[in-house]
Chains A and B, each alone.
Chain A
Amino acid sequence: MATPENKLAFDGGWEYSPAPESTDHIKVEKKYELFIGGDFVKPESGKYFNTINPATEERLSRVALANDADVDKAVKAARKAYRGPWSRMKPADRGKYIYRIARIIQERAREFAAIESLDGGKPIREARDVDVPLASAHFFYYAGWADKLEYAFPGRKVRPMGVAGQIIPWNFPLLMAAWKVAPALACGNTVVLKPAETTPLTAMKLAEVIADAGLPEGVVNIVTGAGDTGSSIVSHPGVDKIAFTGSTEVGRIIQRALAGSKKKYTLELGGKAANIIFADAAIDEAVEGIVNGIFFNQGHVCCAGSRLFVQESVAEQVIRKLKDRMETLIVGDPLDKNTDIGAINSKAQLETIQSYLDIGKQEGADIYQSACALPDKGYWCRPTLFTGVSQSNRVVQEEIFGPVLAIQTFRTFDEAISKANNTPYGLSGGVWTDKGAKIFRMTQSVRAGVVWANTFNKFDPTSPFGGYKESGIGREGGLHGLDAYLRLEA
């Protein structure tokens, strides 16, 4: 920690004693089966895959690999549950089951946070303070909608879609499951959920919660596997609606695969958000916002503020302060409560990030990385800045999904907007200024679904989230998030 650059460590460098979250209270089984029709069942394939701790490269558990036959079983179980108890149940009772899920997650929050951190590599502080409480809050919010849906869409009657197939990513495993499952259930649908192959554990824990909450069997089914399992859900004729969160590349394949079917779909895809700092911003707050924007969750965030635009007159100051701040960031053991940046989620993702670091350098950008120490084992990436980049650089145009920030400058408002919008993505954006009028004009001009003014990376169950342009179709969260799981009729 005590590096010469470390100007923010006022006494010349703090040494933090380790403060690891204990894991002796959590239960991770040696093996996880598929959750179909209310039971934990063996996969038809007989195959299992490893899920590993990216901070230690050690195996945490073995998880069932679902094939077409398993997906078919899950869809049939979901259909049966839909026809049977779930769509006929009193909406208020449906809501009560969802409330139960919210409550049990709260009761087991500590365990969920630790497992999320172990399986995905995210800092325990984030899992504890963001992922798990938000997941519970999401169930709590949508539970209340179950018997109030008729008030959400004036002039329309609402009906559930039927069976929802849901495919979620590895960056916020439990939270994304909550984003998908909670509104689907509230609207009267049943679910086949596939967690990401590198982070299946909290979804399997959620299966336990759902069983403990006494939901009728088959209302939620969870099948684990990789891309093939996902594509089996997408193409299954018994699925009425697909909800996908992941890369634009896969989203495109899914949209194409759904062509000609009657399936409704929502896609929450990639991003390359502009975070725009005006000279009249509160600079220290803005620097915190930049750090939160790109280094939160190792930058594994689709709405990460991965393109920084700084007004020229303050660029030098902002970049200097940002570098000072980066030196204080602790990269390491995700379970340690001091850790700011945990492990990169997987070896494959680390390789992707590293390839972009090489590309950035080859394209002539200047690279800066903090001087922090990295653990010997596991997958790690130092917080990284690129300066001297232009709009056409690949590190400016393409989603890296890591702690890598590309910095550009601007002089005028119009220049900032035109650069910010020069991307096929449109998920999120940020603006920092003390002028109210500028905030309004800016937030109106950024072509993105979520815009944070003088803040960044904030989420709430009541707040719709989703992208413009190639960042996706549809919204999740809030009243607007109900739409994805309902048929609106005259």
Chain B
Amino acid sequence: MAAKAERSKERVAVAKTYKIYIDGKFPRTESGRYFTLEDPKGNVIANVCRGSRKDFRNATVAARKAQPGWAGASAYLRGQILYRIAEMLEGRREQFIAELKLQGVTQRAAQKEVNASIDRLIYFAGWADKYQQVFSAVNPVASSHFNFSVLEPTGVVSIIAPDDSGLLGLISNVAPTIVGGNTCVVLASESMPLSAVSFAEVLHASDVPAGVVNILTGLRSELTEHFASHMDVNAIVFCDGARKTARTVQELASDNIKHVVARTDIDWNRDSAQHPYLIRDTQEVKTTWHPIGS
């Protein structure tokens, strides 16, 4: 990792230990396991946490605990916090570009991805106090009742983030989930996990309450089934799963009638990859009745 730096005349660089993010803290995986991320030449870039089922369960407990408070925060505040995340990311553009490059992304593509990530956060920050107005309804029932339908967060959402878009793909799925008052546990891209961990640090510095976003790194082949089967998860968003994986996710999700949101074959760089229906995907419609009378 630091070998090159030692040979140069530059100062000895301090390499970063990549951790996971659970309940507003940065532990290593409880399992003590790791997988190595290598650059194209085979040099080890990082020993990434190979998160475990237990990590996921801990993260889910944190997400559940944080959910009512986050949902209860005003839409205005949620919007401000998402905006704050964008501000923090803007200030760290260079770090994120460098990190993407380290994971094999070209300078130009990295720049584009970081810019798009910041803009996407702003996009969803703006929706915080608007999607409700677009998707709610006052229903003209025939009886003498006042009746209205609003969106409410479905609860705790597990997210298998896109593998091919380490930062933008993650943000494009986390932002619409949390802007609607859900909390989430995310499995970062397996081939490009570093941006996710650094993004957790951005979240941490942005007044996002502990437990609202939890980010794990690890192997999809190992963790996907737990993301799909956990009985205290209300919805699973899974990106770019093979057909066989999609089937397994659906099957396991049925244990507690989880919502399954499949987002495959989406180019997250495009503007069409951002719209409020992504927020709606992890919302419930609640209808309230009250008599009208004296």
Residues of A within 8 A of B33 (CB): none
Instruction: Report the nearest B residue to A478, measured CB to CB.
Output: B139
Whether the Cβ atoms of A464 and B289 lie closer than 8 Å is no
Residues of A within 8 A of B285 (CB): 449, 464, 466, 475, 480
CB distance from B157 to the nearest CB of A (A): 14
CB distance from B248 to the nearest CB of A (A): 8
Whether the Cβ atoms of A479 and B137 lie closer than 8 Å is yes
Whether the Cβ atoms of A473 and B287 lie closer than 8 Å is no
Which stretch, A117-125, A168-176, A208-216, A450-458, touches the partner chain B? A450-458
CB distance from B237 to the nearest CB of A (A): 14
Whether the Cβ atoms of B287 and A251 lie closer than 8 Å is no
- We find that the number of chain B residues with CB closer than 8 angstroms to chain A is 40
User: Given A449-B285, A450-B286, A259–B272 Cβ distance below 8 Å?
Assistant: no
Whether the Cβ atoms of B257 and A460 lie closer than 8 Å is no
Which stretch, B14-22, B143-151, B212-220, touches the partner chain A? B143-151
User: Given A260-B247, A463-B287, A267–B275 Cβ distance below 8 Å?
Assistant: no
Whether the Cβ atoms of B254 and A460 lie closer than 8 Å is no
Cα distance A13–B160 when bound, in Å?
Answer: 66
Instruction: Report the nearest B residue to A456, measured CB to CB.
Output: B289
Residues of B within 8 A of A455 (CB): 145, 289-291
Cα distance A488–B149 when bound, in Å?
Answer: 20
Which residue of the partner chain, among A259, A260, A464, contacts B149 with CB atoms under 8 Å?
A464
Indicate if B207 sits at the interface (CB-CB under 8 A). Answer: no
Whether the Cβ atoms of A469 and B254 lie closer than 8 Å is no
Q: Enumerate A441-481 residues with CB–CB distance to B below 8 Å.
A: 443-444, 447-455, 458, 460, 462-466, 468-473, 475, 478-480
Whether the Cβ atoms of B289 and A458 lie closer than 8 Å is yes
Which residue of the partner chain, among B140, B247, B277, B289, contacts A453 with CB atoms under 8 Å?
B289
Indicate if B142 sits at the interface (CB-CB under 8 A). Answer: yes
Which residue of the partner chain, among B139, B250, B276, contacts A258 with CB atoms under 8 Å?
B250
Cα distance A439–B288 when bound, in Å?
Answer: 10
Cα distance A253–B234 when bound, in Å?
Answer: 18
Whether the Cβ atoms of B253 and A255 lie closer than 8 Å is yes
User: Contact flags (1/0) for B270-294 with A, using CB distance below 8 Å?
Assistant: 0010011100000011111111000
User: Given A155-B275, A269-B257, A460-B139, A256–B251 Cβ distance below 8 Å?
Assistant: yes
Indicate if A349 sits at the interface (CB-CB under 8 A). Answer: no
Q: Enumerate B21-71 residues with CB–CB distance to A below 8 Å.
A: none
User: Contact flags (1/0) for B80-113 with A, using CB distance below 8 Å?
Assistant: 0000000000000000000000000000000000
Q: Enumerate B121-154 residues with CB–CB distance to A below 8 Å.
A: 134, 137, 139-143, 145, 147, 149, 152, 154
Whether the Cβ atoms of B277 and A488 lie closer than 8 Å is yes
Cα distance A454–B249 when bound, in Å?
Answer: 41
Residues of A within 8 A of B143 (CB): 458, 460
Indicate if B243 sits at the interface (CB-CB under 8 A). Answer: yes
Cα distance A252–B252 when bound, in Å?
Answer: 10
Cα distance A252–B259 when bound, in Å?
Answer: 12
Whether the Cβ atoms of B139 and A464 lie closer than 8 Å is yes
User: Contact flags (1/0) for A250-281 with B, using CB distance below 8 Å?
Assistant: 01110110111000000101000000000000
Footprint of B on A, CB under 8 Å?
137, 154-156, 248, 251-253, 255-256, 258-260, 267, 269, 424, 439, 443-444, 447-455, 458, 460, 462-466, 468-473, 475, 478-480, 488, 490
Give me 17 other A-B pairs in contact (C-beta within 8 A), A460-B147, A463-B139 excluded. Answer: A156-B277, A251-B257, A252-B254, A255-B253, A255-B257, A259-B251, A259-B254, A450-B287, A451-B286, A455-B289, A460-B141, A463-B149, A464-B149, A465-B287, A469-B257, A470-B256, A478-B287
